[in-house]
A and B are shown apart, each in its own frame.
Chain A
Amino acid sequence: MSEASFPYATVLVALPLLAALGLRLGLGRAQARRWALLVGIVLLVVGLAAAWEHAGRGGGGLVLADPWVPAAVGFGVSGLGAILLPFGALIGLAALLVLPRGRPGGGSPGAPAHAAPLARILVALALTQAIFAAQGTALLAALWCVSLVPPLLELRALGPEGRPALRIFAVYLGLSAATFVAGVILVALGQVAAGAILLGIAVMIRKGITPLHSWVPAVFERAPLGMSVLFSAPQVGAYATALVVFPLASARVLQVVGLAALLTALYGAAMAVGQRSARRAYGYFFLSQSALVMVGFECTTPDALTGGLCVWISSGLALAGLGLTIGLLEGRRGRLRLDQFHGGYERMPRLGGMFLLLGAASVGFPGTLGFVGEELLAPGALDVFPIAGAAVAVATALNGITVLRMFFALFCGRPASGGLAQRLRPRETLGLALLGVVVVVFGLWPGPLVQGRARVAASMLAARAEAVDLPPGSADGGTPGRGTP
């Protein structure tokens, strides 16, 4: 079902692209950060308006088609994308607030903002929004490929230091793009089963699902955290899974993806616990928690799928915030190791508090949105696959240990030198607080979000049931269908 509306999607994509172009052309270079922040705020407001209007018109499977784009392209605000647009905008705004640093990969907190990194972040943000607004497989495939460009440029800008990560990123994500395009072509040619398998492989690479995950810790290890967070935290791989793989793939393919996601959750959690580099630990931690989203897709029950969709939002926001706090700390202290104490909690209690809050939200601590998602996901997963519930619980238990270990290593110990310069600036506080407040408010009052996600889950299940000719809500075992995503 499609209805005409205000061209939200076009605005959400065009605005940051125009701002990035303006920055690259030298317009407003002296005020680059302010312009970027203004664009980020507008994007958040427009995204919220889109979600509001979508919910007001009934939500669910409704698509608010963009009047400025031909209908054949498939571009607009869907039930799945309605909440993801402000979600992506929020992560982008937080990244702009927290990490508009002087040069990629480093720079002091007070360094002047350069236009180039800000422009790349704005382009990445525009492409993320475009993906969340894409409704057609061809457009999604094109955006899937183009969205790799900003991180590649960011890594290239690092010079020799970033070359290993650049190679790993190019190999893995290039393979992901190739398999995605091949999968879309095969599906278009009627080879749905083979196409769905290729699409499944593509999203597994993009989501960092074991054994195709190695690019995630490597990139987090080397790349600037702002871009890394913006590229990874919105989890566009999950969007492609929901839009393309979930309706098309056979139960067997979904099970393989789900089992691999469970393995990833456990593997990432285990690998994160003992890491000595804060960035690498965060990379594995990210892998583990974000993989839980895919577990929900595998279960094909309403509660588990709703849980997976909620974990998507909660883990995206909380993990983005956690990554940004590590970036802020690095801006003050250089590379962070976890086998020594860095101290300084008393000098930066806000940053320490935000780290704890966002870390706790990442692992589903009560009172945060993560708790809601995992509470829905674990029992729902158990109903379909008994070991899934246990694996989710073990992974989150290990991740809880990782969060506290990181907190203790990064903030405890003898006081660090630096005094007042280590305190958070107001805009940095605002960036982290935005993410923290959202995960807490939706954690304490999750009703509207959960209901919205439940409607989306129901429409996804209905679409899949239609495609494979099964009753809605059942845990299926059917064969792949030819339904249009």
Chain B
Amino acid sequence: MIAPSLEFLVLAGVGLPAVLWVGIAGASLVDDAIRERLIGVTCRLVFLAVALALVTATALSLVFGSGTTELIHVGRWFGAGDHAFELRLLADPLSLSFASLCAVLLGVVAAFADRYLHREPGYRRFFANFALFAVGILLIALAGSIDVVFAGWELVGLASALLIAFFHERPSPVQSGLWTLTVYRVTDLGIVGAAILAHHYAGSGAFEALLGPSWPAGPSPLSSGEATAVALLLLFAVLGKGAQVPFSGWLPRAMEGPTPSSAIFYGALSVHAGAFLLLRAGPLLDAAPIAAAAVVVFGLLTAVHATAVGRVQSDIKSALAYASLTQVGIILVEIGVGLRWIPLIHILGHASIRALQILRAPSLLHDFHRLETAVGGHLPRTGAHLERILPEGLRRRLYYASLDRWRLDGALQALFVRPFLRLTAALDRGERWWGEVIGGATIDEGISSAGAGGGSPGLGALRGSPAVATRASGVLSEETASEVAARTRSELSKVTSSEVARAPDDLSGETSSEVAGRTRSDLSGETSSEVARAPDDLSGETSSEVAGRTRSELSEETSSEVAGRTLVDLSEETSSEVATHTTLEPPPDLSEETDNLPRARPGAADV
């Protein structure tokens, strides 16, 4: 008799974020100046209500329903002929537990973001995208058919790309958002194919027709061959959304987004959505040993890749991202070998702790700063026990490969993106020639076979290295140093006093003393190798993290090297950030403190 209550709570859980999105988007259409306070309070209340509804539903199901499966048939959305889109939600232990996790973490992140993005120009845009993401992830969690999963999958993909590109005035986040969406759209073909095949084989996309009457027992009514085909397509989709090898590259790029969205993507929910889907499809994997083996292989590959790459990351968000990937890879292995409850518990625990770590990341450096100042030296390095097992030669090779993140994005670009662009460029030349033959005039703007340049919004803009690397090197590719210097000087000259006044807000929590530490006078000793490493190291760092890399790290750079690097770095910064560089001077009392600041801790956040 708990079914009506459960139905109401689940529908409220999915419906409220949808209403919130409509409200924010609709209000934006009517009034550009909707108040931040109103949005913040509304979002907090909505996500509190969502969390309460779904946690209550979970408790009701476990206590009074003994964890049975409740099918919530909202209705028939549309249909024609033999095909219909049924809105079916499922309330069982798997869906309710993951939905509750989503709801709680969404609430926490919403409350965090309300303060973190205070007075940010894109505050409203963030919460509109956040609400869209919430609808999508909750639909995935509570879906009762593969069609509903697909709808949620698409919403999550678009919202993720827009949130990664949140700081859209810089090219790098935008390129990262586009690359992420590209990976998503391509791998989403897997879920489209799985949905189409499910309808073809089972005559319906409903989970009971595809996966059997209950989770995790199943059994799937599909034959082994059919189950293998559907499961492999689902796995392809999961590789993209879960950032598994070879599609891992988008995850560190996602760091370009604000910290709250990072926590959602690579800390908590987005990377686990794929694992959750595979867990839901467990009965299919039981009937498809080849697909289950493939899940294990990709999970293992990802775990090894991520733990190796994560250990050489020098910024905390990258290290956390790869640590997340390691765990997601292990979760996939667990699913592939036939475990069902352990991976679920693993997802719940890992998502929670990782979200906490990422939300704490910006302020963690302050803690280390104080600790090491108190101790009087660096804290002992941990997490190297695995590295010691490997032979010296292998360790070195692994180190260099990991510095380049195994060139996975570069390989995807070289194997697929660039040949594709070359092909379309050749076709476009043919089109233009034909146009000239018929029309008698040149059509001068076609496709660039090399893709766009490093600072432009093209698929070919990514050069196989992390997005922020292009921030430094790509911009320079067509400019001489003197041109850059001239451009930077001209950019500096346009900084207005109001932009200078806004600088502290733009620096996402950086204190003025830390900002002061990042001035040219402090950069007086960086070595050339460190300078060369700088673009990679900067991938996804927030300004406050950059602040952590102060004089002690940069103590050997020559003045000319500093000048070159600073000009490059400044060329992609916003004018407000530039203003900060040039107008604030370091306080005299900072010089002693900065000598004791920590170096990067590879592996510190791992596992």
Interface string of A235-277 (1 = CB under 8 A from B): 0000000000000000000000000000000010011011111
Is A397 a contact of B188 with CB atoms below 8 Å? yes
CB distance A274 to B80 under 8 Å?
no
Binds B, one of A8-16, A39-47, A302-310, A319-327: A302-310
Q: Which residues of B contact A429 (CB under 8 A)?
A: 29
Residue pair A302, B421 in contact (C-beta under 8 Å): no
Are B424's CB and A274's CB within 8 A? yes
> Is B165 in contact with A412, judged by CB distance below 8 angstroms?
yes
Query: CA of A397 to CA of B458 in the docked complex: distance in angstroms?
Result: 16
A30 within 8 A of B: no
Q: Are A413 and B171 in contact (CB under 8 A)?
A: yes
User: Is B431 a contact partner of A275 (Cβ separation < 8 A)?
Assistant: no
Nearest B residue to A382 via CB reads B196
Interface of A is mostly: helix
> Which residues in B have their C-beta under 8 angstroms from that of A306?
80-81
- A343 contacts partner chain B, Cβ-Cβ < 8 Å: yes
A446 at the interface (CB under 8 A from B): yes
| Inter-chain contact B174/A390, CB cutoff 8 Å | no
Interface flags, A168-180, vs B, CB<8A=1, else 0: 1001100000000
Chain B residues contacting A339 (CB-CB under 8 Å) are 448, 452-453, 456-458
Q: A280-B445, A360-B158, A400-B181 are in contact. Are A214 and B438 (CB under 8 A)?
A: yes
Pick the residue among A168, A303, A375, A390 that contacts B193 (CB under 8 A). Answer: A390
Instruction: Give the one of B420, B438, B451 with max A CB within 10 A.
Output: B438
Contact of A408 among B77, B147, B177, B451 (CB under 8 A): B177
List the one stretch of A58-66, A70-78, A142-150, A449-457 in contact with chain B. A449-457
Interchain nearest-CB distance for B237 vs A (Å): 12
Chain A residues closer than 8 Å to B428, beta-carbon distance: 271, 274-275
| Mask: chain A, 353-392; 1 = CB below 8 Å from B; 0 = not | 1001000100001110001100110111011000001100
Are B445 and A457 in contact (CB-based, < 8 A)?
Answer: no
Partner-contacting stretch, out of A102-110, A188-196, A344-352: A344-352
Closest residue on chain B to residue A161 by CB atoms: B441
Known: A307-B80, A376-B78, A397-B188. A365 touches B154 (CB 8 A): yes
Cα(A277)–Cα(B444), bound, Å: 9
User: Which residues does chain B contribute within 8 Å of A307, judged by CB atoms?
Assistant: 80
Are B81 and A454 in contact (CB-based, < 8 A)?
Answer: yes
Judged by a CB distance under 8 angstroms, whether A337 is at the interface is: yes
Partner of A274, one of B150, B425, B435, B438: B425
- Which residues on the B side are within 8 Å of A433 (C-beta)? 29
The distance from the CB of B424 to the nearest CB of chain A, in whole angstroms, is 5
Among B162, B171, B459, which residue has its beta carbon within 8 angstroms of that of A341? B171
The answer, yes or no, to whether B169 is at the interface (CB within 8 Å) is yes
Distance between B3 CB and nearest chain A CB, rounded to angstroms: 26
Q: Mark B136-167, 1 if CB is under 8 A from A, else 0.
A: 00000000000100111011001001100100
The answer to whether A383 touches B200 (Cβ under 8 A) is: yes
Known A-B contacts A163-B440, A270-B420, A271-B447; A405 and B169 likewise in contact (beta carbons under 8 Å): no
Question: Per a CB cutoff under 8 Å, which of B29, B80, B434, B460 touches A457?
Answer: B80
Decide if A484 is an interface residue (CB 8 Å cutoff): no
A366, B458: Cβ atoms closer than 8 Å: no
In the complex the two chains form, what is the Cα distance from A366 to B151 in whole Å?
6
Nearest CB in chain A: distance from B165 CB, A? 6
Q: How long is the Cα–Cα vector from A301 to B83 in the complex, in angstroms?
A: 11
Residue contact A338 to B457, C-beta cutoff 8 Å: yes
Q: Does B565 touch A at the CB level, under 8 Å?
A: no
Any chain A CB within 8 A of the CB of B82? yes
- How close is A401's CB to chain B, nearest CB, in angstroms? 5
Known: A415-B169, A433-B29, A450-B78. A404 touches B161 (CB 8 A): yes
Cβ-defined partner of A412 (8 Å) among B85, B438, B457: B457
Contacting residues, chain A, for B200 (C-beta < 8 A): 379, 382-383
Query: Is residue A217 contacting chain B, with contact meaning CB distance below 8 A?
Result: yes
Structural contact, B458 and A274, CB atoms closer than 8 A: yes
Q: List B410-430 residues whose CB lies under 8 Å from chain A.
A: 420-421, 423-425, 427-428
A residues within 8 A CB of B177?
A: 404, 408
> Quick check: is A165 within 8 A (CB to CB) of the other chain?
yes
Interface centre among B200, B443, B455 (most CB of A within 10 A): B443
Of B189, B428, B440, most buried by chain A (CB within 10 Å of CB) is B428
Question: Is A405 a contact partner of B178 (Cβ separation < 8 A)?
Answer: yes
Q: Is B178 a contact of A394 with CB atoms below 8 Å?
A: no
Interface size on A, residues (CB 8 A): 78
Given contacts A270-B420, A401-B182, is CB(A380)–CB(B83) below 8 Å? yes
Interface residues of B in 63-114 (CB under 8 A from A): 77-83, 85
Q: Are B181 and A412 in contact (CB under 8 A)?
A: no
Q: How many residues of B contact A (CB 8 A)?
A: 71
Q: For A390, list chain B residues within 8 Å (CB).
A: 189, 193
Smallest Cβ-Cβ distance to B85: which chain A residue: A375
Q: Chain A nearest CB: distance from B175 CB in Å?
A: 8
Contacts of A453 in B (CB 8 A): 80
Inter-subunit contact A303/B83 (CB<8 Å): yes
Which one, B82, B162, B168, B434, contacts A214 given CB within 8 A? B434
A2 interfacial by beta-carbon distance below 8 Å: no
Cα-based distance from A378 to B445 in the complex (angstroms): 33
Interface status of B121 (Cβ within 8 A of chain A): yes
Q: How far is the CB of B454 from chain A (nearest CB, A)?
A: 11
Contact A167/B438 with A217-B431, A221-B443, A408-B165 known, Cβ cut-off 8 Å: yes
State whether A274 touches B158 (Cβ < 8 A): no
Q: Does A83 contact B (CB under 8 A)?
A: no
Q: CA separation between A325 and B604, bound complex, in Å?
A: 49
> Is A21 on the interface with B (CB-CB < 8 A)?
no
Chain B proximity mask over A274-307: 1 for CB below 8 Å, otherwise 0: 1111001000000000000000000001111011
CA distance A365 to B184 in the complex (A): 14
Q: How far is the CB of A159 from chain B (nearest CB, A)?
A: 13
Enumerate chain A residues within 8 angstroms of B459, measured Cβ to Cβ: 273-274, 401, 405
B residues contacting A by CB (< 8 A) are: 25, 28-29, 32, 77-83, 85, 121-122, 125, 147, 150-152, 154-155, 158, 161-162, 165, 168-169, 171, 174, 177-178, 181-182, 185-186, 188-189, 192-193, 195-196, 199-200, 420-421, 423-425, 427-428, 431, 434-435, 438-441, 443, 445-448, 451-453, 455-460
Contacts A271-B428, A378-B196, A450-B79 given; 18 further ones with Cβ under 8 A?
Answer: A168-B439, A221-B443, A274-B428, A276-B448, A280-B445, A375-B78, A375-B147, A383-B82, A383-B200, A401-B178, A405-B457, A408-B177, A409-B456, A413-B171, A413-B174, A446-B78, A454-B81, A473-B81
| A–B complex contacts, Cβ < 8 Å, 27 sampled | A172-B438, A214-B438, A218-B435, A270-B427, A274-B421, A274-B458, A280-B443, A302-B80, A303-B82, A303-B83, A304-B81, A341-B456, A353-B29, A356-B162, A365-B158, A367-B151, A372-B78, A376-B83, A379-B200, A404-B158, A404-B177, A404-B181, A405-B457, A405-B458, A408-B457, A429-B29, A447-B78
A-B pairs with lowest CB-CB distance, top 5 = A303-B81, A164-B439, A302-B81, A164-B441, A306-B80
